Amino acid sequence: MNESNQSPYHTPAPGFDPQTAAAPRQSNTLGLIGFIISLSGCCLVITAPLGLLLSFFALFKAPRLFAILGTIIGLIGTAILAGSIALLFSVGAARSIQHYETFFTGLEIFGEVMQHFGENNALPGDAEGQLIVNDRTDGWGTPIKYTRIDPTTFELRSAGPDTTFNTEDDYFKPIPLK
C-alpha cells in the first residue's frame, strides 16, 4: 500500500506530536484544596492557617499557581487571625493588670491602717485615714477613698474602670477588725 492510498485518518495533523498528546495533564490537587480552604478563610478566618499549611506543602509540586495563591491568601488570613487573638489577650491582660494594681495598693493601705490601729488601739478617722491613703490611686488612676464606718470597721473604695465613685463598677471592701 503506497502513501497515496492511505486513508486521511491515518495522517497526523500538522504540528501534532503523538507523544505529548498522550501525556496526562499535570494537576496539583493539594494546591487546589489549600487555595479553596485559604479562600474560605476570608469569611471564616479560622480556616486560614489550615489553607496556608496545605498550600505551603503544595508549593513543592507543579503546577504551583493555586499553591502560590493559597499561600498568599492563607498568610493574610492567618495574620488577621493572629492579630485578633493578640488584641483580645492584650485588652484582657491590661484589664487584669489594673485590677491587680488596685488590689495591691489596697493591701499596702490596709497594712498602714493596721499599723495605726496597733499603735493607737483605734482606727483612724476619715481625715486621718485619707492621709494614710496619701493620694495613692487605683489601677485606673483614680484616688482611693478611706472611710471609717464604725470604731472597728473601715472601707477602702476604688472608683473602678469608669473612674466615677458610687457606681456599679466600684471596688470596695468593708473591713471589720473584730
Domains, in order of start, for the chain:
97-176 (3.30.700.10)
* pLDDT value, residue 144: 94
Mean per-residue pLDDT of the chain = 85
**Position 43 pLDDT exceeds 90:** no
Ranges 22-26, 85-89, 137-141, most confident: 137-141
Order of strands across the sheet with 153-158? 145-150, 153-158, 171-176
Whether pTM > 0.85 for this model: the answer is no
Torsion of CA 50, 56, 60, 62, to 10 degrees: 80
Count of Cβ atoms closer than 10 Å to residue 170 Cβ: 17
* pLDDT value, residue 134: 87
Question: What are the φ and ψ backbone dihedral angles of 145, each rounded to 5 degrees?
Answer: -105, 140
